[in-house]
Amino acid sequence: MIEPSLLSRRGVLFWGIASLLVSLSSLKADRAEDIVILDNIATRHLGIETTIVTRQSFEETLFALGRIEPKPGGHAYISSRIAGRLKAIQAHEGEWVEKGDPVVLIESLQPGNPPPEVSLFSPIDGIVIKSLAHLGEPVTTDKPIMEIVDVRSMHAVARIPEDQLPMIQPNTPVAIKVIAHPKHHFHGTWVRFGSEVHPESSTLEVFFTIEDPERILRPSMRAEFTMSLSQRNEVMAVPREAIQGDHYQPHVFIKDFEIPDAFIKARVVTGSQNDQYVEIVRGLLPGDEVVTRGAYPLSFAGKGGVSLKEALDAAHGHEHNEDGSEITQEQKAAKAVSEATPQGQGPSPRWVWFLGCLCVMQWILLAIKWGNRTKIS
């Protein structure tokens, strides 16, 4: 029979080694869980691109959507003061007319042979936006015949949430991107606030003047507004496409500095953002290489075709644990004890004392780990 003291020493040996391995592996567990290891082909297929994290000037902006509208003084309808018949259309939709140019010819209903004719002229410079009548159609005094808009200077109308209205001042710079013309850059000048908050969206219209000497804008075109609110220096920020996850748990992927084609999922705390960059409050350091293009598919790439142990063994030239951690002297010693102890014999009291010290180390390591987690959260 095996003596109870021998069983006790064996139990101490077993649980000492087990608890030490748990504590050491838990310190590396985050890396093992969050690392994505690909091969060169997968990296190329995903189109992975990275950028170096630096401190830079950061412009805080307000983004809004809206549309293009004619100015009140640059919008005109052509109508007749006499009833008759539309005999000729001298300006067609899309054509530019000058103030005073004849645009339509009306044949009056008054008696005569031939009946008297009346020409109608454009009251402004502009483009014929709509032709509202056809040749031979009856003309009445209460129905417009044509719509003309001066597109060289128009209003860009942004819808701003009412809680963000105090951020906008009359001198607030605004960049306007028209969806139909993405390669053109427009700048707006503040004109006025709207008169009423939209009840469903809780937004107020803000009017900006936008100049268009090329005459490419049209009424009702959709527009994006980027308003510059403030600018700070020495801000750590990354491109918007690098941020993955949701608003509550954002993360980025950092290129591993040891393993080729390996990327580590790093949780970050974000701050302000603009149309290009997101401020990083905590979670990155200057010099980190974050993934921009290809960051989204990395979230679904799993561990790729290479294990963390295999990648580290190849990179360092020596063996690692399955979780990627280094094989420590204690683990080597425990392995040696396991191999050297004959079956049916237990460890000596000296080994029991040594394993007791290892247990103390285990609790210290766990305290460090949970302390770091508390600081991050």
Q: What is the pLDDT of residue 194?
A: 93
* Topology of the domain covering 63-70+152-231: Elongation Factor Tu (Ef-tu); domain 3 (2.40.30)
Render pLDDT for 165-219 as a digit per residue (tens, 0 to 9).
Answer: 888 888 888 999 999 999 999 999 999 999 999 999 999 999 999 999 999 999 9
Q: What is the pLDDT of residue 274?
A: 82
Q: What is the pLDDT of residue 258?
A: 81
Q: Residue 261 pLDDT more than 50?
A: yes
Pairwise CA distance, residues 160 & 164, whole Å: 7
Distances from the Cα of 32 to the Cα of 36, 207, 264, 341, 369, angstroms: 9, 53, 9, 32, 15
Give the chain's largest Cα–Cα span. Answer: 136
Structure tokens at 46: 């995903």
Q: Residue 135 pLDDT more than 80?
A: yes
Q: What is the pLDDT of residue 228?
A: 86
What percentage of the chain reaches a pLDDT higher than 90? 46
Q: Residue 333 pLDDT more than 60?
A: yes
Pairwise CA distance, residues 153 & 86, whole Å: 31
Residue 96 — pLDDT band, cuts 50, 70, 90? Answer: very high
Pairwise CA distance, residues 191 & 300, whole Å: 48
Mean pLDDT computed over every residue of the chain: 81
What is the average per-residue pLDDT within 154-159?
96
- DSSP H or E segment with residue 352: helix 349-376
Residue 65 — pLDDT band, cuts 50, 70, 90? Answer: very high
What is the average per-residue pLDDT within 145-166?
94
Higher pLDDT, 77 or 61: 77
User: Alpha carbon 348 to chain centroid distance?
Assistant: 62
Render pLDDT for 247-260 as a digit per residue (tens, 0 to 9).
Answer: 888 999 999 888 88
Residue type, 182: P
Please report the DSSP string for 169-226 in residue order: -TT--EEEEETT-TT--EEEEEEEE-SS-BTTTTEEEEEEEEE-TT----TT-EEEEE
What is the average per-residue pLDDT within 129-158?
94
Residue type, 42: A
* Topology of the domain covering 72-149: OB fold (Dihydrolipoamide Acetyltransferase, E2P) (2.40.50)
Q: What is the pLDDT of residue 22?
A: 43
Model pTM greater than 0.85?
Answer: no
295: CB partners within 8 A, 6+ apart: 241, 242, 243, 244, 252, 253
Domain boundaries, the chain: 4-33+307-376, 63-70+152-231, 72-149
Q: What is the pLDDT of residue 83?
A: 93
